[in-house]
Chains A and B, each alone.
Chain A
Amino acid sequence: MTDPETATRQRLDELLSRFNAAERSLGYPCNLDFDYSALLPLLDYSLNNVGDPFHDSNFVTNTHEFEREVIGRFAGLMRLPPDEAWGYVTNGGTEGNMYGIFLARELFPDGIVYFSEDTHYSVLKINRVLNTRNIMIKSQDSGEVDYDDLRESIRVNRDVPVIFMANIGTTMKGAIDDVSRVREIFDDLAITRRHIHGDAAFSGMILPFVDDPQPHTFEDGFDSISISGHKLIGAPIPCGVALTRKEYVARIARSIEYVGVMDTTLSGSRNGLTPLMLWLAWERYGIEGFHALVTEMLAVAAYAVERFNGLGIPAWRNRNSATVVIPRPPPDVVEKWQLAPYQDIAHVITAGHVTRDLIDRIAEDLAAARAAAAPA
């Protein structure tokens, strides 16, 4: 009979074997190249970042100091001056998006949330949880919001504040909503009560490092932005950052103070380890490292489009995107490469761990599947 300790270890070893045997995922926007082993000694502590990272905490084993540094780094990328910036490390993109919509709803309680049909499905949950009125807008074939449809929908409700959730890289096509055009619509319709939140889960870490980025910063008109940490940067635990202007949070904080709580974040207890991971990633990459990473990712994406097209596969990608859109392959290819299909398409995402060799290998599978499906 196996003793309990051995059985426990065997169970974990089996799990590890299964993970090791799988091909590296090509369908999800998560960089699998990371090393946070320097943080292993911290696992002996009960880390908890409960509360606002910019306020004092009674919980001694917190990492607020590192969290503030991380927020400062991301704020700098998004052109938000340090003395105007506020944010915290979230459990991932959805919490960051929820924070942005929560903030907007607190500022404009009667506002309507507008978002395109290519927006991540979690926006539906967020609107339900926050009980915010919401209207889905058509997308263009590229995945970008249909500006005419947005304009007409806002025009009908022009007396109501507008909360626009902009995609800085849609989930399936990597499309980026042009907030300069969105702001033109607001101005044309004299919409003064407005809030633009950016879902920059993956591409929020691409655009700051390209030569000709689409609008994506606070200077471009965003009021809040959510960026994922476990995606482009890579981490073993989902994480991200919510960023906004300090003055907005100060208004919310005042309202929360009435119920005796000054915690301006959404969670109570918060992860104290993930701020350290993001801090370590910033220490290791720095601006130059991230620039090199993004340059290589986009080069591999360009290579993938060229390689797939060369085999007769009609692949394409949006500008400044590492998301390569392909026709939906058969289930065996989807499963082998852990692709994420939706309706008639799927995508290959050239995250940091994706090499040209991996692209060549999936290209062969895609071509073989295409040949097998062709009429005799």
Chain B
Amino acid sequence: MQRIIISTKNEVGVIAGITAALAGRGINIQSLDTEGVGEHGMVIITTDDDDGALMALSNAGYRAVADDALIVRLVDEPGALAKLSARFRDAGVNIQSMHILNRHGGHATIALSADNLDLARSLVDADAAI
């Protein structure tokens, strides 16, 4: 079972929309957590059907990623991503992909995959990892 992280607006009805999208495909939510930063939020869920949930959320227009990506929240300033890249490089972690999920309220949320995700995770500040 994977965590699924949904990047969305921090507004009324978001949870209802997500649960409806999943219920429509007969997918059960097993855990649900939320994090909000200003106008933007993250909804973190686990379900009984990872692939189906990602498909259902994507079809419903949500931006969702699975937990085989490391999700990091950084201060949105020049070079912030590069500093993180440098930390990984110095530790011998090869980044396969690094994508910006959203930029709001002075922060950027990044999804990245790497050849050693556990080591990568250990290199991220505790308050930055999601």
Contacts and interface: CB of A to CB of B under 8 A. Distances in A.
A267 interface: no
Interface in B88-105: 89, 94-100, 103
Interface stretch (A130-138, A279-287, A315-323, A359-367): A130-138
A147 to B, nearest CB: 10
What class of interface size applies to chain A in its complex with B? Answer: 10 to 19
Interface string A110-150: 00000001000000100100000111111000000010110
Nearest to A133: B96
A135 B95 contact: yes
B96 A153 contact: no
Given A153-B85, A157-B85, A134 B78 contact: no
B97 to A, nearest CB: 5
Nearest to A150: B82
B85 A135 contact: yes
Nearest to B103: A138
Nearest to B102: A343
Contacts of A153: 81-82, 85
Contacts of B100: 117, 136, 138
A158 to B, nearest CB: 10
Contacts of B79: 148-149, 152
A24 interface: no
A155 B97 contact: no
B89 A157 contact: yes
A90 B49 CA distance: 37
A135 B85 CA distance: 10
B86 interface: yes
A259 interface: no
Contacts of A134: 96-98
A15 interface: no
B89 A138 contact: no
A60 interface: no
B108 interface: yes
Contact of A152 (B82, B96, B108): B82
A133 B82 contact: no
5 contacts: A133-B95, A134-B98, A149-B79, A153-B85, A157-B89
Interface of A: 117, 124, 127, 133-138, 146, 148-149, 152-153, 155-157
